[in-house]
A and B are shown apart, each in its own frame.
Chain A
């Protein structure tokens, strides 16, 4: 059996980002394996450890993506297929290229992050499934293999959670709660160097450009309101105000 994790390389959450000519400049940012994809990598490795077979990394992106691939290999994946593409690509274009790789790999199950930390489209996993005509289970929090062609999974919906049984192969998008991603290990790092990374230029898979052209990018800054109520003078009034704020502004009660 074969388990695939699709990964991307994204800026570290603590990275300093700069806007440069209407685009986000990533040149000074620390780039990491997308933390949402880490759940996918962990799941593929765990399945391989439990049931045997192979954990394969499939990645799409520019040359630097290899660093993220090596991290996944150091965590314990067996080998990688790297679709190399410099420049922008929308998720559907990307998914079509990845689908060709997956059709050839013929995996038992495919995992990838439920969202992507850099262009948060939520689209990659569903688009890959669409391109292959495979089922998709989004926001998976539990996964169980039932033989070679079926799996049981729990996933989150807006209204709550659902447990489903699904025919394999299928695509599962991953999130926090599915597992506890391991750290790469130092022996793993040393072994990863010898593991195969098969490189395929994106053009060979039919990627000629992007269907969604980026005209400009800006950084969203979220600032805390830091509203402090003084409860020392009129505590009852302050408590009432607190309840009003929690109800009307924060909308949590």
Chain B
């Protein structure tokens, strides 16, 4: 009898709040921020006011201490309204997670509490211009000098970076050691030698700020190191094992939006004397969208539930959820455009933006190819 798909009363209220906020505050301005390629700080502030920003910060550090199931609830709603906007709070949780995983009590208090006292963001910097999927091949150097590290190098594709209070930077103190030579350092935005270049011309998710982060002789004190020297790579992977679940949740939101927009249009649009929803070619597309949506949502909740329980199966489950949800969402957005015909290809309707936005969900926080590597690793190790 233990199997139970219901949400708690509090989770239902949370869902209602997030849904209302997404519908009333985010969706109406999504197109505008996308066109202007501008960070919607006003929305970030509003999100903070209703308590939906940085929700994973523990109660003892001034936060709400919510789990991934709650993040998934929020993620679907915000992803429905604007995946680009949702990436901002999502990437902030990505920055917070390594502190939760490897930070000591003093570090948690020092780095996390300020993020609960005002609308503020965190960030996570692993990728570099020359490495993405091969994360252990990073070149950013962290040279130990007395009681601090000196950082030199460039980080690439960093969500929130210039907008964030601090960024968890992964660097190597010995490239020969590959993943065993990585250290995780919290780098505050205002440290000398830190600079950012905003990346322009993104296909989608244009409300979300993405930066190149340049580190030139940046002195970072030892007390900003998360975990031990050499544990950085492990910390990064443990983080991503969890944080790709909200990517799946945002994808579910995009898929739901695509289905809703396509169904609405198919009921209104007439061809050959009747609404196009009466044609089987359209019905099958819509049915496939719903099959993808329902299965992706269920599996995303399952992955979040495993992660919240500390069940190690969440490692492959989160990879499956992320790859699957982002793929069905991309397909849903693509078919929603097809159902809209020419109207789907222009910005008067929201569906072309869904496609542009959700393409990134197949790439960031580990490409879907890397997710399959994670699943295959599990198969090799554990399936006889």
A binds B: yes
Residues of A at under 8 Å CB distance from B?
A: 70-71, 74, 183-190, 192-193
Expressed in whole angstroms, the Cα–Cα distance for A213 and B342 within the complex equals: 52
> B277 at interface (Cβ–Cβ under 8 A)?
no
- Determine whether the beta carbon of A186 is less than 8 Å from that of B9: no
- B14 in contact (CB, < 8 A): yes
- Chain B residue with minimal CB distance to A184? B17
For the complex, give the distance between the alpha carbons of A70 and B49 in Å: 19
Sample (6) of A-B pairs whose CB atoms are under 8 Å apart: A74-B13, A183-B21, A186-B50, A186-B64, A189-B17, A193-B10
* A189 in contact with B10 (CB, 8 Å): yes
- In Å, the complex CA distance between A72 and B325 comes to 35
Q: How far is the CA of A190 from the CA of B13 in the complex (A)?
A: 9
Q: Within the assembled complex, what's the spacing in Å between the Cα atoms of A186 and B16? A: 11
Chain B residues, Cβ within 8 Å of A193: 9-10
Q: Which chain B positions have C-beta within 8 A of A185?
A: 17, 49-51
CB-nearest residue of chain B to A66: B9
CB distance from B220 to the nearest CB of A (A): 33
A188 touches B51 (CB 8 A): yes
Residues of A within 8 A of B151 (CB): none
> Taking CB as reference atom, which chain A residue is nearest B9?
A193
Task: Determine whether B328 belongs to the interface, using a CB cutoff of 8 Å to chain A.
Answer: no
Q: Is B258 an interface residue (CB 8 A)?
A: no
B17→A183 contact, CB < 8 A:
yes
Interface residues in B353-373 (C-beta closer than 8 Å to A): none
Residue on B nearest A186 in the bound complex, by CB: B51
CB pair B64 A183 closer than 8 Å: no
- Total count of chain B residues near the partner, CB < 8 A: 14
A residues less than 8 Å from B51 (CB atoms): 185-188
Query: A188 CA to B16 CA in the complex, in Å?
Result: 13
With a cutoff of 8 Å between Cβ atoms, the chain B residues found around residue A71 in the complex are: 13, 16
For residues 1 through 52 of chain B, which have their beta carbon under 8 Å from a beta carbon of chain A?
Answer: 9-10, 13-14, 16-17, 20-21, 49-52
Q: Are B13 and A70 in contact (CB under 8 A)?
A: yes
Known: A183-B50, A184-B50. A189 touches B21 (CB 8 A): no
The answer to whether B55 has its CB under 8 Å from any CB of chain A is yes
Please, which residue of chain B has its CB at the minimum distance from the CB of A30?
A: B16
CA distance A74 to B16 in the complex (A): 12
Instruction: Report chain B residues within 8 Å CB of A183.
Output: 17, 20-21, 49-50
Q: Report the separation of the CA atoms of residues A187 and B50 in the bound assembly, to the nearest whole angstrom.
A: 8
Complex Cα–Cα for A192 and B14 (A): 12
A190 near B17 (CB under 8 angstroms)? Answer: no
- A186 in contact with B20 (CB, 8 Å): no
Residues in A whose Cβ lies below 8 Å from that of B20: 183
* List of 6 A-B pairs having minimum Cβ-Cβ separation, nearest first: A186-B51, A185-B51, A189-B13, A183-B50, A185-B50, A187-B51
Which residues does chain B contribute within 8 Å of A186, judged by CB atoms? Answer: 14, 17, 50-52, 55, 64
Residues on A with beta carbons closer than 8 Å to the beta carbon of B9: 70, 193
Cα of A241 to Cα of B14 in the assembled complex, Å: 52
| A185 and B20 alpha carbons, distance in the complex (Å) | 12
Q: Given the complex, which residues of A lie within 8 Å of B49, measured CB to CB?
A: 183, 185
Residues from chain B with a CB closer than 8 A to the CB of A187 are: 51, 64
Task: Tell me whether A190 and B50 are in contact (CB under 8 A).
Answer: no
CA distance A128 to B7 in the complex (A): 37
What residue of chain B has the Cβ atom nearest to residue A188's Cβ?
Answer: B51
A249 to B12 Cα, complex, angstroms: 46
Given A183-B20, A186-B51, A192-B13, 19 further pairs, Cβ under 8 A: A70-B13, A71-B13, A74-B13, A74-B17, A183-B21, A184-B17, A184-B50, A185-B50, A185-B51, A186-B14, A186-B50, A186-B52, A186-B64, A187-B51, A189-B10, A189-B13, A190-B10, A190-B64, A193-B9
A183 to B50, CA, bound (A): 7
Q: What residue of chain B has the Cβ atom nearest to residue A70's Cβ?
A: B13
- Give A190 to B10 CA distance when docked, in angstroms: 7
- Report the separation of the CA atoms of residues A71 and B15 in the bound assembly, to the nearest whole angstrom: 12
Most chain A CB inside 10 Å of its own CB: which residue of B9, B20, B50: B50
Contacting residues, chain A, for B16 (C-beta < 8 A)? 71
Nearest chain A residue, comparing its CB with the CB of B12: A67
By a CB distance below 8 angstroms, the chain A residues around B17 are 74, 183-186, 189
